[in-house]
Amino acid sequence: MKKSTTTLRAFIALITALAATELPAQTDWRHVLNSPVLNYGVEGKWDDGSVLWPAVLKDGDTLRMWYAGSNELLGLGTVNIGYAWSLNGLAWYRSVKNPVLSAERVWEGRTVVCPAVIKDGDTFKMWYGADGVPPRFIGYSTSTNGVTWEKHAAPVLELGAREDWDGSIVGPGSVRKEGEVYKMWYWGGKESWPLSIIQIGLATSRDGIAWTKYDYASTTQAPFSRSDPVLQIGASGEWDQYRVWSPAVLATETGYAMWYAGRSDYTTSPQWVGYATSFDGITWLKSPDNPVIAARPEWGFSYLTSAVLEFEGYYHLWFTSFPLNNDGQRAAIGYAQSVSDSSAIPPAIPERYFLAPNYPNPFKHATHLQYGLPGRVEVVLNVYDILGRRIKTLVHGVEEAGLKTVAWNGKDELDRTVSTGLYVYQLRAGDFVQTRKLLRLE
């Protein structure tokens, strides 16, 4: 069973990597200033050691930032959360009431860190890491003004079992509320810090308090028996082979876009910024141009992604880096902006035809097939068995340009469930033809 699970995960990773070559080009970035926009505090202040992990949202004309601050180097010692505001993303004004969130409960240790904040109606809602850097619990708090917070008594998301992929580290990344459902992309690790493999998971909730981690049913052995990461580390030798973490997620017209930090070793190499897209928040395709930010800011070393917003025709990134004037032993917050003014990531109209890998694959009950059309064209999407016999026509007709998703329930034209085995699906769009394989299990 363990061997088959390993083979399955390798197969899924392979088709995801192949699909990544079909992603559209990523927007370029430039550093707006050659210095941090929020530096560590003056000597004697609660944040005079480091400021890091900013959460930024746009509230009318005001940009609001919540960030972690420490009076020791690299977020060690006591860590609290502060608040600052800005009208342009460059000049930030700290609240006189800082810190606005401190570690007070036993399970928080001396640390509240890496805030993720949304505004839900008139209420600000924050999920934060606790009990260490990196954290071991995720807490929850609410506020009507962003400064005075009321905490939930207990952690709302905890570590997995010791043998699980998130058995030693868990921290919030991005939270979105869609209708009545909250979605949290969080990061987790199994080994002790700093020798930790860190990956990105997804949890969902109806109230922001009781969360369910995403679990791919076909992976039944540790470390993925109880839940699964939705963005995994890269293959051996790749730039993100040891860590993918601290995700910033935006909704797009066709799904989601994510920026994340990645690292190729544990200690010596810088962390760069990667980019991935998804149509459902679960299946992520990494950009073939990764890392999309692989040049150090003039003032710092390495990156931790934290917050990305889209407004006024640009993408805006606030990130953590480590100033060189103190040998990289402190953290500060920088700001970058996209060079182009494209309106969506990925674009609503693809630049070229493509047929993406189906998800999930293998599947039991249903799978989703996604394809892209750069123009209006006649489309035929068929499923065949390995002998070339047509099993099911999923699409046949003229379609407008755009990204398309079709579900197949594993049944043939007579509504009979097909047998376990390997099948082929093929897209014909004008002169374009592409074929892929899928596997159905009992």
pLDDT at 392 over 50: yes
**Does the pLDDT at position 313 exceed 90?**
no
At residue 5, does pLDDT exceed 60? no
Q: Provide the pLDDT for residue 270.
A: 86
Mean pLDDT value across residues 374-392: 94
Same domain, 27 and 89: yes
- Sorted by sequence, the CB contacts under 8 Å of residue 57 that are 6+ apart come out as 63, 64, 117, 118, 119, 309
17-31, 125-139, 247-261: range with lowest mean pLDDT: 17-31
Mean pLDDT score, 339-364: 68
Confidence band of 436 (pLDDT split at 50, 70, 90): very high
Question: Is 187:171 a contact under the CB 8 Å cutoff?
Answer: yes
Domain boundary among 285, 310, 338: 338
Judgement on whether residues 277 and 411 belong to the same structural domain of the protein: no
The pLDDT value recorded for residue 416 is: 93
Lowest mean pLDDT among 200-214, 224-238, 261-275, 280-294: 261-275
For residues 68 and 205, membership in a common domain is answered with yes
Regarding whether 400 and 311 lie in a shared domain, the answer is no
Dist. CA 1–CA 436, nearest whole Å? 26
Residue 346 lies in a domain: no
**Most confident by average pLDDT, 139-148, 312-321, 368-377:** 139-148
**Proportion of the chain above pLDDT 90, given as a percent:** 64
The reported pLDDT for the residue numbered 326 is 60
Task: Say yes or no: 329 and 365 in one domain.
Answer: no
pLDDT value at 336 more than 50: yes
Other beta carbons within 10 angstroms of residue 424's beta carbon come to: 16
Question: What is residue 19's predicted lDDT score, i.e. its pLDDT?
Answer: 42
Interval 50-83: pLDDT, tens: 999 999 999 998 999 999 999 886 656 799 999 9
Q: Are residues 402 and 328 in the same domain?
A: no
Are residues 330 and 414 located together in one domain of the fold? no
pTM confidence score: 0.74
| SS3 (DSSP) at 8 | helix
224 against 363, higher pLDDT: 224
Q: Are 182 and 204 in contact (CB under 8 A)?
A: yes
Q: Pick the residue with more confidence: 351 or 148?
A: 148
Tell me the mean pLDDT in the region 110-133. 96
CATH number of the CATH domain containing 180: 2.115.10.20
The tally of domains found in the chain comes to 2
The distance from CA 19 to its chain's CA centroid, rounded to whole angstroms, is 18
Q: What is the mean pLDDT of residues 313-338?
A: 85
Q: 325 with 362, same domain?
A: no
**Does residue 300 share a domain with residue 391?**
no
Res 11 pLDDT > 50: no
**Domain end call among 338, 372, 407:** 338
- Closest among 225, 238, 135 to 188, alpha carbons compared: 135
Average pLDDT over all residues of the chain: 88
- pLDDT for the residue 349: 67
Shared domain check, 90 and 7: yes
Verify that 305 and 363 share a domain, yes or no: no
Q: Are residues 209 and 331 in the same domain?
A: yes
Q: In angstroms, rounded to a whole number, what is the distance separating the alpha carbons of residues 341 and 403?
A: 21
C-alpha distances (whole Å) from 365 to each of 19, 214, 359, 414, 440 are 22, 18, 12, 17, 8
- For residue 398, what is the domain's CATH number? 2.60.40.1930
Q: What pLDDT does residue 189 have?
A: 96
Task: Note down the domain range covering 400.
Answer: 354-440
Question: pLDDT at position 27, please?
Answer: 63
Q: Residue 290 has what pLDDT? A: 93
pLDDT value of residue 21: 39
